Structure formats: structure tokens, C-alpha cells
Chain A
Amino acid sequence: MDEPQIYAQLAKLFEDVFDDDSISVTPELSAKDVDGWDSLTHIRLLLSIEKAFKIKFTTSEIGSLKNVGDLVALIKERA
């Protein structure tokens, strides 16, 4: 799966998880930029991503994510 495909699918997942279709999913995007992106929604987001891409993240990977760019790199490695 290439990056544009990953971003396209992530955009759908962000909309689903945050119930907000105005979020623009860019590599720089991080929790502080999105209203309601707290620690629990973060987990719901990652669980939704795991399910959608049929992958599994390790606990330390989840802890090391700083922004969407990191996340996409990780998905690219797995999916």
C-alpha cells in the first residue's frame, strides 16, 4: 500500500473516530491540533486503524508516535 492510499484511508478513519469531516490528515497533524484527541480517543483511533489495516502495533510503538507522519511510516512498514 502506498502513502496516498494510506492517507486516504486514514482520513476516513479520522472522520469516523472524531465524528468530524473537517480534519485534514497531514504528516504534521498531532493530538494537540484536534479537538477531542485525548488519550482515550487516541486508543480508539489506533484500534480502528489496527482493525482497518489488519495490523497490530506494539505498546512501545504506540508510545513513540509523535504525529501522523510517524503513524503512516509504521503502517507502511506493516500493511
Chain B
Amino acid sequence: MNPLYSELQWLPRAPLEFSSRLKALTNSTGPLGRELQALALSALDLNQLTKLAKAIDKARAEGKSLDSLTPFKLAVLSNSTIDMILPALVASAARYGIVLEVIQPSYDQVAQEALTPDSKVNSSKPDAVLFALDHRALPLKLSLGDAETAFATVQVAIGYLQALRDGIKANSNAVCIFQSFAPPVETLFGSFDRVLPGTTKDLINKINHELTDFILGSGDVLLDVAGLAEIVGTCDWHDPQLWNMAKFAFSDQLIPLYADHVARTIAAIRGKSRKALILDLDNTIWGGVIGDDGLDGIQIAQGDARGEAHLAMQRLALDLRARGIVLAVCSKNSDEVARKPFEQHPEMLLKLDHIAVFQANWSDKATNIQAIAEELSLGLDAMVFLDDNPAERGLVRKLLPQVAVPELPEEPSYYARTLAAAGYFESVAFASEDLKRAGFYQENAKRAVLQKQVGGVDAYLASLDMTITFQPFDAIGRARIMQLINKSNQYNLTTRRYTDPEVAAAEDDPAVFTLQVRLADIFGDNGMISVVICRLNGAGAWEIDTWLMSCRVLGRKVEHMVLREILEHARAAGIKKLVGIYRPTDRNKLVIDHYAKLGFSKIEEETSGLTRWELLLEGAAPESAPMKVISSLIASDLERSI
């Protein structure tokens, strides 16, 4: 089975302490809606869904406040065993902000329940009735090669479904949710089953076709189980052993997926579908980093495998826009640099006039997403945020839990599939207003004003469990040091490029202090992310020849920790003063205030824009950040070397 679907891989994995968190909740007396929803927002297996449903049912029965959740009453009529599915429905509905009350009549009482005015289903006045029927509920008799009888069989089946609907409409007027029928796996002739009238495959295809006809425009809803089974594979969907043993209509392993699809359909009926897609740029909609790789360095061309993967993502975004989803951009970049590919790159599918709000700056993404939501006058619960960087995803999930943030796989070729599988934009109808919505924001690609920073960034940084490692330059790190020195453009104070022999020479030069910096966090090892070179400059001063950092770890206060490390060794070496230089290029505006932010004072400004800064060691106490420090530099060695 493809784990993207069977394990709902767009959702974060369930927390290890799921059960204990759930227990703690059931004993709490406060409002539970948000906490229960938060637990539902990870990928839960059937046992976890069952436990969560039990907690929700209990909270409801005890009259506890489920504050933020919208109530919905769903009756489920089925010809199969649904006892194990119903708890999964309740738990999955919480994922979409719905507290689901399920009405379940006795087994296989579909027609009786629909047609009798005072049946359990009709008298409970449900908001919707789900006809969870599979092909075994229909009178399908083979009529091989007999088109006329096949037609009659299809009419009888459709007539049956229509009678069910009419019964519900007359007796409780609930919305009816029908399922398309997943064709069985076993063929009679082989490929010819699809050609010949009256085979099981032919009958089911025709019934599915007629079913869509009677649903379109009726106000009733289709849950495309046939499509779902097709996606996961009908041989994994149908499990004859489970049918024989317990009358399960499909594999137990696909219950979480099925339940999520029912839940997203109900959410769509309640108008809870998401309305805007916010895109990160670097390594999300193109390959590479625009600030470092430049217009001709990013991968977005046809003919380049990586580029095509990102183009497919752009294509999906554009198609979503065509059906009314609003697009926005949220990127850590300078605005001018970020807009360049949209304006100038010939292979970009997305253009600036497709983007309603364009947020490219260096503030944290949660604050920017909030600004986007305000600019669009949409709630945060209407937003989907797509980003390749797990730390950014984690930050937004933590600070803005209402925003949907799908997990993405390593391989960008699967980005589009993952976003589509998550079903954030599930809709049960399509109206002309939908078409207008994305165009409604005609003032294109504008920038929203940032409000106050979303709280808790520091707490989030602490939760990242970061470890920063400092080492002097060495032969093992040299290749990556070379790469950073010769490729980094944005977070690069002087943009000085060096050759391999020059870097090798710095390793042994007693007048040079070097640092290679690595950062690891809960998401994994980011590898080497920063490089510093200081040169002894006259008596008692170090001039910072090179200071650069990967933009991937921006906003983590890595630069503060690097300065602390430099200061420690400078002190040990008897240095009194650090001298910093900012040499402007067309790519490094990001760090124009780098030294000012770190407490240096400006001592000189040239007409070229080059600025010179100094920091006296005496009394210098740069800010610290929540991370563990490992340093393999021994102060005494340095003293000796300098």
C-alpha cells in the first residue's frame, strides 16, 4: 500500500505521548474543543482514532464544552459492518473542527430506515445521511453481451438509490451523501470486461455514471469511493477475507483514509473548505535559493527533472487558482529578489498577477501569514501553507494551529500529489462565484503590513532542541566551506571568494581565526550553516574578513551564538576589539544591519556603501539563544597560535 494514502502522510506523525495526552484531557474540566482538534490533527491509526472518538463521545455525553467545534449529526446507512468505521469518523471530523454525532441503525436496514417516516434515522433529524453502500448492496445480475438487460439492471439500481433519497427527503429532508461504487478486482474475460455490456465492471461503471448525473445539481453530495479505491488500488481496497469474516466493505488499513474523506466532505458541506494557498518560494515552487543561485541558477526549466517537479507544483497552484483558490506568497527573501523570477524568468508558470499578497521579507512566517489573512479578510482556518522546510512548518503549526500545513516528502516530484491528497480544498459544488473569487483580489501581488509579531517564537526556538557545533577549519570540512564561501550571496557580509589553497592556508595560519559552524535540531542535522574568518589586524584587533550563513537557519539567533563564540576566543587570545565590515552587493541587503543588531558601532561609511563597525570586547555581552553549544576549539591552542 502506498503510505502517502494509507498513513495520511501529509499529516504530522502522531505524538508518542498521544495516549497520555488524551487521558490528561479527559480528566480536565476546561473547554476541550481545541485540544481534541489538535490531537486529531496528526496521522492516527485505527486504534488511536477509536480512543480519540471515545474521549469525544464521553466529553459530549458529560456535557463538557467543545467550544470551537461545530456540531453535525450524521446518520450512516450501510450494507456492511461499520462499527469500526464510526469511531474513526468521529475522530476524523474533529480534525476538521466538527463534533460529529453519529446515528447508526441496525445492520443492513438501509431501505427500511430511509423509507419509514418514524425510523431511527428519520426521527433523529440528521444534518446528512451517508449511504455507505458498496456494490454488494445492489441487485447486479450478469447479462453478458445483453445490452438491453444491462441497461435495465442499471436502471433498477439507480431507481433503488433514488427511492432511498426520496425517502430521506420526504421524511427528514437531510442532505444525502452517496458513494460511487468501487469495482471488484476479479475479471471474467480480462480486458474485455470493460468492452462487453452486462459484465460486473460494465454495470458498475454505468451505475457510477448515472449516479453522478442524478447528483449534479440535486443539492446532494457524492463521496467518490470508486475514485479513492482507484487511487490506492482496488486490490488493496477490497479485502475478501475481511468481508467473509466480518462484512467489512474494504480493508481495515484504509479506514483512516476513508474516514478522513468522509470528514472533509462534511466539512465542505459546512463551508469549512480552505480558500487560500500560501506558497514558500525557494525549494518549494522552484529548485534552489534565488538569493544565492540567482535567476539563471534556480531550477525551474522544462527538461530538468528537478525543475519539472517544481513546475508541476506551480501548475497545480495555477489550476487551483482557476477554480477559485486565492494564491499568496510567504518567503524569507528581500522583496525585490523574490519577485524577480515572477517578472523575468521565462519558464515560470506563476506570474505576479496570480498572487494576491506577496510577502517576501525576513520576519518570521507566522507573523507574515497573519498579515496575509488580514489583507485577504479571510480567517486563518481558510489558509494552507506550503513550505519545504520542516522548521518553518513546525513554527507555523505551533504558533498558528488553525493554518493547515502539510508535511512534504523529500522529493519535490511528490509535492503536488501530497498537497492534492490532503484535500484541503474539498468542495461539494462549484458556482460561478468561485471562479470570480481569485480574481476578486485584483490589486495583485501587494504587500501586507506586518502587525505585531506572533508571540512565542522564543518558546518555539527552545522547543527545537538546537545544538550548535563550532570547529576551526579543517581538511574534512573544507569542501563544504569552499562551497559556502563561493556560493552564499545573501547572508554574506563581505562576499569574498576564496580558492581551495587559500582556505587550506587559513587552516594553519596563526594570524587567522576560523570557524565552521554546524546546527542540528529536532528535524535533523542542518550540516554546516555558517563560516567565519577573522584576521589579526594590528595590535589587539581581529578584523572579520568573512562572515556568512545559510538562509535556511535564519531567525534562529545563530549569529548571536556565533558572536559569543568569537568573543570567547578573542578574549582568550588577548584581543581588545573586533572590526566588522559590510561590503554591499546587489544580493546582500539582508545583512546591512547585521553588525548594528549585534551591538557593534559604526565607525566609517564609504560612498560605495561599505560600512565599517567595531565592538570593544570589554563589556560586550551579546544576547544568548536557547541552544546547546559544542566547541572543539580549545582556548589555549588559540593563544599559542596567535
Q: Are the C-beta atoms of B244 and A17 separated by less than 8 Å?
A: no
Interface 1/0s, chain A 43-54, versus B by CB < 8 A?
110011001000
Let me know if B83 is at the binding interface, CB within 8 A. yes
Interface 1/0s, chain B 232-245, versus A by CB < 8 A?
00000000010011
Let me know if A35 is at the binding interface, CB within 8 A. no
Which of A17, A43, A48, A51 interacts with B246 by CB under 8 Å? Answer: A43
Q: Are the C-beta atoms of B50 and A44 separated by less than 8 Å?
A: yes
**Whole-angstrom distance between the Cβ of A74 and the nearest chain B Cβ:** 16
- B residues 198-250 near A (Cβ < 8 Å) are 241, 244-246
**Whole-angstrom distance between the Cβ of B616 and the nearest chain A Cβ:** 60
Q: Are the C-beta atoms of B241 and A59 separated by less than 8 Å?
A: yes
Let me know if B442 is at the binding interface, CB within 8 A. no
Q: Which residues of B contact A47 (CB under 8 A)?
A: 46, 252
Known: A43-B246, A47-B252, A59-B245. A19 touches B51 (CB 8 A): yes
* Bound-complex Cα distance A67 to B454 (A): 56
* Bound-complex Cα distance A16 to B46 (A): 10
Let me know if B54 is at the binding interface, CB within 8 A. yes
Which of A16, A19, A44, A59 interacts with B84 by CB under 8 Å? Answer: A44
Q: List 13 A-B contacts (CB under 8 A).
A: A16-B19, A16-B47, A16-B48, A39-B246, A40-B84, A43-B245, A43-B246, A44-B84, A47-B252, A48-B46, A59-B241, A59-B244, A59-B245
Q: Are the C-beta atoms of A40 and B47 separated by less than 8 Å?
A: no
Which of B47, B252, B253 interacts with A17 by CB under 8 Å? Answer: B47
List chain B positions with a Cβ less than 8 A from chain A: 19, 46-48, 50-51, 54, 81, 83-84, 241, 244-246, 252-253
Residue on B with the closest CB to A18?
Answer: B47
Q: Are the C-beta atoms of A40 and B246 separated by less than 8 Å?
A: yes
Q: Are the C-beta atoms of B54 and A19 separated by less than 8 Å?
A: yes
* Bound-complex Cα distance A23 to B309 (A): 51
Residue on B with the closest CB to A46?
Answer: B245
- A residues 55-75 near B (Cβ < 8 Å) are 59, 62
Residue on A with the closest CB to B54?
Answer: A19
Query: In terms of DSSP, what is the predominant structure of the interface of chain B?
Result: helix
Chain A CB count within 10 A is highest, among B47, B48, B252, for B47
Q: Which residues of B contact A16 (CB under 8 A)?
A: 19, 47-48
**Whole-angstrom distance between the Cβ of A77 and the nearest chain B Cβ:** 19
Known: A17-B47, A44-B47. A62 touches B245 (CB 8 A): yes
Q: Are the C-beta atoms of A40 and B253 separated by less than 8 Å?
A: no
Which of A17, A40, A48 interacts with B83 by CB under 8 Å? Answer: A40
Interface 1/0s, chain A 2-22, versus B by CB < 8 A?
000000000000001101000
* Bound-complex Cα distance A62 to B246 (A): 12
* Bound-complex Cα distance A40 to B47 (A): 13
* Bound-complex Cα distance A39 to B50 (A): 16
Q: Are the C-beta atoms of B47 and A48 separated by less than 8 Å?
A: yes
**Whole-angstrom distance between the Cβ of A10 and the nearest chain B Cβ:** 14
Residue on A with the closest CB to B47?
Answer: A16
Which of A19, A40, A51, A62 interacts with B81 by CB under 8 Å? Answer: A40
Q: Which residues of B contact A51 (CB under 8 A)?
A: 253
Q: Which residues of B contact A44 (CB under 8 A)?
A: 46-47, 50, 84, 252
* Bound-complex Cα distance A24 to B47 (A): 19
* Bound-complex Cα distance A17 to B245 (A): 19
* Bound-complex Cα distance A43 to B264 (A): 27
Q: Are the C-beta atoms of B84 and A43 separated by less than 8 Å?
A: yes
Q: Which residues of B contact A43 (CB under 8 A)?
A: 84, 245-246, 252
Given contacts A39-B246, A43-B245, A51-B253, 6 further A-B pairs with CB under 8 A are A16-B47, A19-B50, A43-B252, A44-B47, A44-B252, A62-B245
* Bound-complex Cα distance A17 to B48 (A): 9
Q: Which residues of A contact B84 (CB under 8 A)?
A: 40, 43-44
* Bound-complex Cα distance A44 to B245 (A): 12
Q: Which residues of B contact A62 (CB under 8 A)?
A: 245
Residue on B with the closest CB to A57?
Answer: B241
* Bound-complex Cα distance A19 to B241 (A): 26
**Whole-angstrom distance between the Cβ of A13 and the nearest chain B Cβ:** 8
6 shortest interchain CB distances as A-B pairs: A16-B47, A47-B252, A40-B83, A19-B51, A43-B246, A59-B245
* Bound-complex Cα distance A59 to B244 (A): 9
Residue on B with the closest CB to A40?
Answer: B83
* Bound-complex Cα distance A43 to B241 (A): 12
Q: Which residues of B contact A59 (CB under 8 A)?
A: 241, 244-245
Q: Which residues of A contact B46 (CB under 8 A)?
A: 44, 47-48
* Bound-complex Cα distance A39 to B46 (A): 16
Chain A CB count within 10 A is highest, among B81, B244, B246, for B246
* Bound-complex Cα distance A16 to B19 (A): 9
Q: Which residues of B contact A39 (CB under 8 A)?
A: 246
Interface 1/0s, chain A 24-51, versus B by CB < 8 A?
0000000000000001100110011001
